[in-house]
Amino acid sequence: MSSISVFDMLKIGVGPSSSHTLGPWRAAEMWISSLKDTGYFDQVNSVQIDLYGSLSLTGKGHATDIAIVLGLIGADPITFDTHQIEKTIQQIKAKHSITLNGERSIAFNYDEHIRFLRDFLPFHPNGLTFTASIKNGVSISNTYYSIGGGFVSKEGDDEIIVDQKILPNPIYNSKQLIDYCNIENSAISDIVFNNELSWRTPCEIDEELLQVWQVMLHSMYDGCHTQGVLPGGLNVKRRAFDIHSKLIGDIPYNNPEEWINAIRNTEVKFRQILKWVSCFALAVNEINASLGRVVTAPTNGSAGVIPAVLMYYLVIENHQANFNHIKKFLLVAGEIGCIFKKNATISAAMGGCQAEIGVSSAMAAGALTELLGGTPEQVTIAAEIAMEHHLGLTCDPIGGLVQVPCIERNSMGAIKAISAAELALETNPDSVKVSLDKVIATMWQTAKDMHHNYKETSEGGLAIAVNLTDC
Residue 400 pLDDT class (50, 70, 90 cuts) = confident
Side chain identity at 183, as an amino acid letter? I
Q: How does the average pLDDT of the chain come out, rounded?
A: 94
Buried b (16+ CB within 10 A) or exposed e, 454-464: bbbbbbbbebe
Residue 292 sits at the vertex; the CA angle it makes with 330 and 116, to the nearest 5 degrees, is 110
pLDDT for res 59? 85
Q: What is the pTM assigned to this prediction? A: 0.92
- On the question of pLDDT at 160 being above 80, the answer is no
Give the least confident one: 19-28, 159-168, 208-217, 261-270: 159-168
Q: How far is 383 from 346, CA to CA, in rounded Å?
A: 15
Residue spans in the chain of domains classed CATH 3.30.1330.90: 18-154
Buried b (16+ CB within 10 A) or exposed e, 231-262: bbebebebbbbebbeebbeeeeeeebeebbeb
Q: How far is 199 from 64, CA to CA, in rounded Å?
A: 30
pLDDT for res 92? 97
Average pLDDT over residues 442-448: 98
Report helix, strand or coil for 227.
Answer: coil
Residue 75 pLDDT class (50, 70, 90 cuts) = very high
List the end-to-end C-alpha distance of the chain, in Å, as a whole number: 42
Q: What is the pLDDT of residues 281-294, one digit of tens each?
A: 999 999 999 999 99
What's the burial of 270, exposed, middle or buried (CB within 10 Å: 0-12/13-18/19+)? Answer: exposed
- On the question of pLDDT at 1 being above 60, the answer is no
The CATH fold of domain 18-154: 60s Ribosomal Protein L30; Chain: A; (3.30.1330)
In this structure, what are the phi and psi dihedrals at residue 257, rounded to the nearest 5 degrees?
A: -65, -45
Q: What is the pLDDT of residues 96-129, one digit of tens each?
A: 999 999 999 999 999 999 999 989 998 889 999 9
- On the question of pLDDT at 467 being above 90, the answer is no
